[in-house]
Chain A
């Protein structure tokens, strides 16, 4: 019964179903809209803002904005790309990201989007924050230096695992991830099988003992740019 809605993204006609977000409809049409915080199966968190598009002249997050008949969406334009590049660069300077020694390198969504958008070096000054590392848990460690505050672990633990291992504390630039214990991750009920351990887009939550199982150069985004899977829908 779902009604078909027609609109355009960068001049290309796209058909979606009523109730879909711009991102969902674009995915179906094989148009990639970059994203970081979005986690399939959960309500859109809408914190990263990498999916920003311009809808009828107004900026909106593609992951939360519903489609409507005839809307004109700008996705791959110089202005939108500039906004996205700036946001990605902000994530790089806000934390301490040492890609060459990070086990996530090659599988990291932040790094992959930076490559896809053509970022070489941030124009913003690095903020060099002092952040914590918690390796207390037998199987998992959290390195807040690499955290981009997307909220995926918070959502996955709460909405998929039915626990509440993670949440945010503080506000503004002081905002950070905290665990549901007086001090350490080891004192929470986090299990290695939890979805929350698998969703971090960067290398902030990593599993112990499996480092470098796949050599650098042969990892996911070493082979194809991020978003290629979505773009493969285009010819379906």
Chain B
């Protein structure tokens, strides 16, 4: 066995040229084969890749999908996102737990099944959902959960589940996807979710010089769709202008912001368009390599995407002298993630592609100066690349005429929560919140979360506002909450997400989010004091201003924006203590340890 382990690991490492920058692929492969990356495996990987064992351990310990302790052959990861909570995931969780006879975080004694929680897996429009190995199961009920476990016990092969419940729409039914996931495209638009001619943008792009391509993108005023909204043309100009013989195009398909799932739909239905956009990007900045960083949760799309890449190579849309253009060489590889929201942050994404922990990097240098392997790199969102391909086909003027003012084009919105028609909507920028609420069939709405938990909660006084960069900016996640929802509870659950997903590198984010979460929990337990508002505001300010990357710079927002826009909800529960005592001090709890030691109860008045 031990010899076998050595041989297999050496083979896996050799498959990646014993290259430590491919550590993600190596440890993922070992995890898949052995159910874990054991301390012995870590030693062997370190030997083969000429790394220190602690470096390998550091990587393995970072990602939620990797573990040193072996997990079951079938891993059920139930999504515990806020939307899943709203849709009854707790009952589903009990059903899984009872049927398997284990709690969350546990593995059955026969080593077959592991049950775990996972943060948002990108299925909010069909929640509750779970990931069973690489297979998505959606719209879960307690009965369905029990049935799934029984079916797996008869045949522990998760892919059988997809056909059992009927395949999803569009390419979800493709032979290489075979998933029950639904696209739920509820509103098509004129840029992305419409008929798009194959590779028309790329063909036109290579008629131009790279500088002309960049000028076209700049003229379209396209801004990044991943959340930060940086002008794409400018980013490419910087990257092209940086010195260096080798440059890289990275596509950010980490899609981890809770409530976002539009990139999943683009990758399912417009994969060619996304790869076309990457290829145009490669041409524009002068890169020969592109990497699609695909979140681990979307592994079910990988065979389908690999096949499309293969077809594009066969059609000379990738490879050497693309479409006969002399000297234009470009190819794309897929880098799988392994369960880490922070890897959507562009410098963490680069770290992960380099085979490291998903820690963000210090800036400057910025990726266009020094990114992947310290070479000039442009990281762009999936939707950004798709839009670029359309711009090169139809022209900057056409694109710039859509939308409103400085926000040109359309935006894909992932809408979920309390509404009748959750799904993906393509709107021109400038759509009013009120219109959107009508279209999705939302009633009795108390709040919307715009841009996911790193964005903001808004209430009825903002329903006349519009979705665009100058008013309500968003990477695309919109979650709706009706009047029955407890906004403090919702904010607290999102804070828990940030606590889990902080990389832990810097102090304010690593500790501050825990403290904010604790304070909200205290308020929810009925022990809040009026001074907690100021405490949270000050603490939130320190976390936002002190943190090293965008995660901590926005993570206090669930607390801060509910305080700002739903103050009455807080005021209703924050009452000064009648007896003048600090309500946080729980005398009973404080003496409980001593009581246990003494073996008797205290008399407390």
**Chain A interfacial positions (CB closer than 8 Å to B):** 43-44, 46-50, 52, 54, 59, 61, 64, 66, 82-83, 86-87, 90-91, 93-94, 123-125, 127, 148-149, 164, 166-175, 178-182
Task: List chain B residues, Cβ under 8 A from A167.
Answer: 52, 54-55, 57-58
Pick the contact of B58: A48, A169, A181 (CB < 8 A).
A169
Would you call A90 and B515 a contact (CB within 8 A)? yes
Would you call B499 and A173 a contact (CB within 8 A)? yes
Complex Cα spacing A22 to B148, Å: 59
Would you call B364 and A52 a contact (CB within 8 A)? no
Complex Cα spacing A19 to B196, Å: 48
When C-beta atoms are compared, the residue in chain B nearest to A179 turns out to be B54
B40 CB to closest chain A CB, in angstroms?
9
A139 CB to closest chain B CB, in angstroms?
20
A-B contact pairs, 12 of them (CB 8 A): A47-B507, A66-B364, A83-B546, A93-B511, A94-B507, A125-B518, A164-B54, A167-B52, A167-B55, A171-B61, A171-B357, A175-B510
Pick the contact of A166: B54, B363, B505, B506 (CB < 8 A).
B54
Would you call A48 and B545 a contact (CB within 8 A)? no
Would you call B545 and A83 a contact (CB within 8 A)? yes
Complex Cα spacing A63 to B363, Å: 11
B152 CB to closest chain A CB, in angstroms?
30
Complex Cα spacing A3 to B426, Å: 51
**Which of B501, B514, B518, B539 has the most CB atoms of chain A within a 10 A radius of its CB?**
B514
Complex Cα spacing A148 to B363, Å: 22
A40 CB to closest chain B CB, in angstroms?
17
**Chain B interfacial positions (CB closer than 8 Å to A):** 39, 43, 52-55, 57-58, 61-62, 340, 342, 357-358, 362-364, 499-508, 510-512, 514-515, 518, 535, 538-539, 541-542, 545-548, 584
Would you call A172 and B545 a contact (CB within 8 A)? no
Complex Cα spacing A66 to B364, Å: 8
Would you call B541 and A91 a contact (CB within 8 A)? no
Task: List chain A residues, Cβ under 8 A from B363.
Answer: 64
A123 CB to closest chain B CB, in angstroms?
8
Complex Cα spacing A61 to B54, Å: 28
User: What DSSP secondary structure best describes chain B's contact surface?
Assistant: helix
Task: List chain A residues, Cβ under 8 A from B39.
Answer: 182
B347 CB to closest chain A CB, in angstroms?
12
Complex Cα spacing A173 to B500, Å: 8
Known pairs A82-B538, A174-B504; list 20 more (Cβ under 8 Å): A43-B362, A46-B548, A47-B506, A47-B507, A49-B508, A52-B546, A59-B546, A86-B542, A87-B542, A87-B546, A90-B515, A91-B511, A123-B535, A164-B54, A167-B55, A167-B58, A168-B504, A169-B61, A173-B502, A178-B61
Pick the contact of A49: B57, B504, B518, B548 (CB < 8 A).
B548
Known: A59-B545, A90-B515, A169-B58. A48 touches B499 (CB 8 A): no
Known: A46-B362, A46-B548, A52-B545. A173 touches B54 (CB 8 A): no
Complex Cα spacing A131 to B548, Å: 25
Would you call A172 and B57 a contact (CB within 8 A)? no
Complex Cα spacing A167 to B356, Å: 12
Would you call A46 and B54 a contact (CB within 8 A)? no
